[in-house]
A and B are shown apart, each in its own frame.
Chain A
Amino acid sequence: MDFSIKKYMQKKVHTVRETDTVTDVLSLMIHKKTNGVVVVDDENVVVGILSSWDVIKHIVPDYLEDDRHLAAFEAGDVFEKRVHEVAHDPVSKFMTQDVHTAKESDTLISAITMLAEFHIRQLPIVDDSGHLVGYVNRTDMKQAAGDILRISAK
């Protein structure tokens, strides 16, 4: 059996640019039914990563993040107001810049160790010069583990 990143990675990756907005990202995530997108530059080099988690955190105002027990007292329309306020914020403002990546030739054990160690859900796969070539997430790793135990989807 071939248990390599190359076999389990998704070749088609949903990407956005740093200049795209919250609206663009939400629209992509909702249409493609995904919670994770990779941020790339003009040369397809990975510059950041985004999960729906980052978008949610960006909607929460900073003053409530510092003071969680206050959220229960906040006015109900603040959610709507905040969503409108951040709708045109660029990706660069809330993406995770410190991206952990792996190479196609890396082993699955190194990939899952990275997912576990950094509590991340997704791992972009890049070539030697940082260009995006694929993507693995928790579902892909679950599939690989399932294959070892010969668990079929049926």
Chain B
Amino acid sequence: MTYFHLAIGLFIVTYVFIISEKVHRTITAICGAVLMIVLGVINQHQAIEGIDFNTLGLLIGMMVVVGIARQSGFFQSAALYVAQVGKGKPIPIFLLLSITIALFSAILDNVTAVLLMVPVTFVLTNHLKVSPYPFLVGTILFANIGGAATLIGDPPNILIGSAANLSFNDFLVHLAPVSLIIMVVTLGLLYFWFRKEFVANPAAQKKIMAFQPKEAITDWPLLYKSLGVISLIVVGFFTHGITHLEGATIAMGGAALLLLMTAIDPEDHLKEIEWTTIFFFMGLFVLVAALEHVGAIRILAEQLLVLTKGSQTSTVIVTLWGAALLSAVVDNIPFVATMIPLIEDIGTLTNLDLQPLWWALALGADIGGNATLVGASANVVVNGMAEKENVHIGFLRYMKVAIPMTLVALSISTLYLFLRYL
């Protein structure tokens, strides 16, 4: 057996274990990565070179900042305020809350956004005496749609941005517009789908209007500090073209500044970092580096080009729909991590314009995750929170709404990519 076969075999076994969830995906990824080195597919030096520390730094920095910021109660307060803007009526609340989730998950990662919004959703639907189901479905869909809009909105975007050297502004210019269109269309369709569920309740309306959303803010100084730092981070991303500071530097800079301003002992705040995610990424990077090293990814790239006959249009469309299909069933992070070197290889094999391919990959991976309850981490988290409150979203019941919505979103993406780049 050659290293080539060994690497592919090990990679596939690791992937199967990740999908089956028999063992925690982080443990699986680390085991696979270490085996790649121990069995001699790559050496440790090559493995470490494969780890994208810019992605890790950006993730860790944002986790620290968001972990501190959410303690201020700002996000919950904003959501309660939105309910008042909606005059305490179910339809405007549903629409405004959905937009809020999309906005939050464009700045925060999707899981954090839903962790903040689902409790508020329960509180509001308990008042309104309406089923939380449409709201929860909306939470999932808009978390993933909003996450697609920015560099920091969804981990696949961070991976792509870091590998392809695409800036925060690039994502805003290229992905935010289509994300916005998808949001508006999905909002309209969801309203139409669930319209019978939204029955107004005058008593609830009165109670919601009597809320003092400011009372949800537990720490004003923390709120000012964390919003200040988040703004600075965004400014840092905006001005990347001038300063040439990379994502990890900006996010870590923000984290350091906020820790400096708030923490007596950083231990508690550093616990907010989801180390399981970070180690999962590290393991994946090494696995993919090994696959790349033995030339397996190059072969996959060649196969894809044979399939698309090397045409720009079909390569972009196949990437979009293929990414969506796979992200609906597999976690989109390992998938995107594998696709990145593949697209880089397409760049060296052909003279295709790579940018549209990156956007197709990001859109497919982010939006495709909406199709099933296991398509993205945010979906799993929302389902788990709902189950605990005896609200059963249901795998098939969810797909009945989500698959049409995802198909519409992908059609919009196809049209957008076609009109803008092809």
Contacts and interface: CB of A to CB of B under 8 A. Distances in A.
Interface of A: 61-64, 66-67, 69-70, 72-75, 77-78, 81, 85
Report the 6 A-B pairs with minimum CB-CB distance, sorted nearest first. A63-B119, A75-B126, A67-B119, A75-B127, A62-B388, A69-B73
A77 B203 CA distance: 13
A63 B122 contact: yes
B249 to A, nearest CB: 32
B123 interface: yes
Contact of B80 (A62, A73, A78): A73
Given A61-B122, A63-B122, A75-B207, A70 B216 contact: yes
Interface residues on B, range: 20 to 34
Given A63-B388, A69-B216, 12 more contacts: A62-B389, A63-B118, A63-B122, A67-B76, A69-B73, A69-B218, A70-B120, A72-B216, A74-B126, A75-B126, A77-B126, A78-B126
Given A69-B73, A73-B80, A64 B119 contact: yes
Nearest to A66: B119
Given A63-B118, A66-B115, A67-B76, A73 B385 contact: no
Contacts, number: 48
Contacts of B211: 73
B404 to A, nearest CB: 29
Max chain A CB contacts within 10 Å: which of B126, B211, B390?
B126
Contact of A73 (B115, B123, B389): B123
A63 B385 contact: yes
A70 B123 contact: yes
B267 interface: no
Interface in B244-292: none
A85 B390 contact: yes
B215 interface: yes
Contacts of A72: 215-216
Contacts of B120: 67, 70
Contacts of A77: 126
B375 to A, nearest CB: 23
B127 A70 contact: no
Contacts of B215: 69, 72-73
Contact of B385 (A62, A70, A74): A62
A61 B132 CA distance: 15
Interface in B116-140: 116, 118-120, 122-123, 126-127
Contacts of B216: 69-70, 72-73
A70 B120 CA distance: 7
Contacts of A66: 115, 119
B129 to A, nearest CB: 8
A74 B76 CA distance: 13
Contacts of A75: 123, 126-127, 204, 207
Max chain B CB contacts within 10 Å: which of A66, A70, A78?
A70
A77 B217 CA distance: 24
A61 B121 CA distance: 13
Nearest to B120: A70
A56 B385 CA distance: 19
Contacts of A85: 390
Nearest to B125: A75
Contacts of A62: 385, 388-389
A117 B77 CA distance: 38
A70 B207 contact: no
Contacts of B73: 69
Contacts of B207: 75
A64 B122 CA distance: 9
A62 B386 CA distance: 10
12 contacts: A61-B122, A62-B385, A63-B122, A63-B385, A64-B119, A67-B120, A70-B76, A73-B80, A73-B215, A74-B123, A74-B126, A75-B204
Contacts of A63: 118-119, 122, 385, 388-389
